[in-house]
Chains A and B, each alone.
Chain A
């Protein structure tokens, strides 16, 4: 699939209800365009609670409705275990691959408040995508 830009979401070490809520609000705005591309970086994640998982699922549903793509970036063994246990890894595998030619990647930090997100959203060079 072709895409101009992707959102890189770096999840915090403990992805709990509060973090999920914050990220959800940010993604509401960020995923408004057609065919959104989302790369979720789980590399720091040690724990995800039920609300965090629910939010991820909602996010995937939103992206799927817009014919977009969600992909796992780097992932910690803890997060890989939780995704496998909840079968969310299989859902993520259903999305089309995000092209490595993606021009820009905007970073959405999931562990800061809405106001801070506005200031910290930035553009980076394309990053290699984890398999």
Chain B
């Protein structure tokens, strides 16, 4: 678009405890560490960064990014009666955009994943002379909208109040592209799977070393390990000997998969250590927590030699190494590693 400075954007990162409808999501927060879904990496980059890049490509350069607190679970904060830090931040973000002279303001609530062409949305919004345009799927609305900035300007009341007054006059922007509401861990896994199999536009961060096999920078794979396409091994991750990664599995950055472990149709989140000889199937693993997607159950493993964070294991290994029977020096250990890779 030519008028880059005339489009602003506010991205609200949805909290993990509630879905777009406001309903409790029982399995979401625990297996994914209680962090907002938009902050979890999928194929090397999180959804927030992917959305920022998508906006940049549409000519929207400096979106405001806000994180929801417990008082808000909606795209339009004006619907919430309570006041709080989030609401004041939202008001400031709108004011900043208006001060910069934007004509249209894109509002995005990152709870679900949506492959939308923001240029098309803005074009539709302007050509239809709509004051507020919200994206709609076949069944319900998505948390993406464009609002005419002139209708937010004024001297009295809050921006939330003015936005609220526009809701009855909204137009629908029909959307039939790829979407994932990310309500359950299964959705999260499906998003990664679809990215690897080309069903969505998520491009793995790294290099495609052979058809369907992507490696992040600094990823190391032992020659005796088998990686079956499609698969993703993230930045600085290590796959040791006799491992088998298959079933469109993703190993995000800074992970270690130890000798003989098999990973099938699973996502391993950043910084996770998988112990020796394990069989990870249909799961999301985040440090010492494993969520089994078919059984809909989470198990927490207390033995760090089995599952855990790679960082804590490194410290443990170092401590044990100092008292080990072999008492090898670090330089010796480095030589062993050098031979492995």
Which residues of A are in contact with B by a Cβ distance under 8 Å?
Answer: 46-47, 49-50, 77-78, 80-82, 84-87
Contacts and interface: CB of A to CB of B under 8 A. Distances in A.
A92 to B, nearest CB: 13
B184 to A, nearest CB: 16
A78 B299 contact: yes
A81 B278 contact: no
Given A49-B302, A50-B305, A81 B277 contact: no
Given A78-B297, A80-B295, A85 B303 contact: no
21 contacts: A46-B299, A47-B300, A50-B302, A50-B305, A77-B292, A77-B297, A78-B297, A80-B295, A81-B290, A81-B292, A81-B295, A81-B297, A81-B299, A82-B299, A84-B281, A85-B278, A85-B281, A85-B290, A85-B299, A86-B278, A87-B277
Interface of B: 277-281, 283, 290, 292, 295-297, 299-303, 305-306
A77 B281 contact: no
Given A82-B301, A86-B306, 17 more contacts: A46-B299, A47-B299, A50-B302, A77-B292, A77-B295, A77-B296, A77-B297, A78-B299, A80-B295, A81-B283, A81-B295, A84-B279, A84-B281, A86-B277, A86-B279, A87-B277, A87-B279
Contact of B303 (A49, A78, A84): A49
B260 to A, nearest CB: 10
Contacts of A50: 302-303, 305-306
A127 to B, nearest CB: 24
Contacts of B301: 82
A128 B299 CA distance: 28
